[in-house]
Amino acid sequence: MRKAEIERVTKETQIKVKVQLDDKGKAEIDTGIGFFDHMLTALSVHSGISMSVKVSGDLHVDCHHTIEDTGIAVGQALGKALGAKSGIVRYGTAYIPMDESLAMASLDLSNRPFLVFNCEFTNQSCGEYDLCMTEEFFRAFAFNSGMTLHINLLYGSNDHHKAEAVYKAVAHALKTAVAENKDGSTLSTKGVL
């Protein structure tokens, strides 16, 4: 069973994350930021990766530390659950519409972390979630899981829909990439990632 637990404690946040890659996307999310909980639930359900994420952060300051540190912890848990990343499809790409919005995510579980993020939002926030933190979450997630991640928001007008399309596009790309391949080999000309 591909699963992992991470506990991250700093002066700004206390985080416990559990992920299980082959468990149908059951989500138990509590970050203290309602819209972020909604996005992480979408990430879990649509990727098929069960996630338990419990966060206590310095929300009296703002949402930055809570969201970025959650990205670190969830990324570390994903990387740990994947181990050497052998026996997986490795690549995934998905286009996801959310009403008037359309987002694309393409990723490689390569152990070469990188983020390309081409998304623009109109408003500052959705609820207590600062939309600029979407990029920070995915940077922390990609770099701590060893993922190359490209996200493009092609168009949209409603920021809730735009953000949700982004999270769901990453989820569906991830679902493809973490799937086990038929022969258990490492998809690399080097033989290892």
pLDDT of the residue at 191: 67
51 bridge partner residues: 19, 27
pLDDT of the residue at 183: 81
pLDDT of the residue at 101: 98
pLDDT of the residue at 79: 97
Q: Could you give all domains of the chain from N- to C-terminal order, each with its CATH number?
A: 3-178 (3.30.230.40)
Mean pLDDT of successive 10-residue segments in the chain (193 residues)?
A: 95 98 93 98 98 98 98 98 94 98 98 97 97 98 98 98 98 97 75 69
pLDDT of the residue at 188: 67
pLDDT of the residue at 94: 98
| DSSP string for residues in the chain | --EEEEEEE-SSEEEEEEEETTS---EEEE-S-HHHHHHHHHHHHHHT-EEEEEEEE-TTT-SHHHHHHHHHHHHHHHHHHHTT-TTB--EEEEEEEETTEEEEEEEE-SS--EEEEE---SSSEETTEETTHHHHHHHHHHHHHT-EEEEEEEE-S-HHHHHHHHHHHHHHHHHHHHSBPSS----STTS--
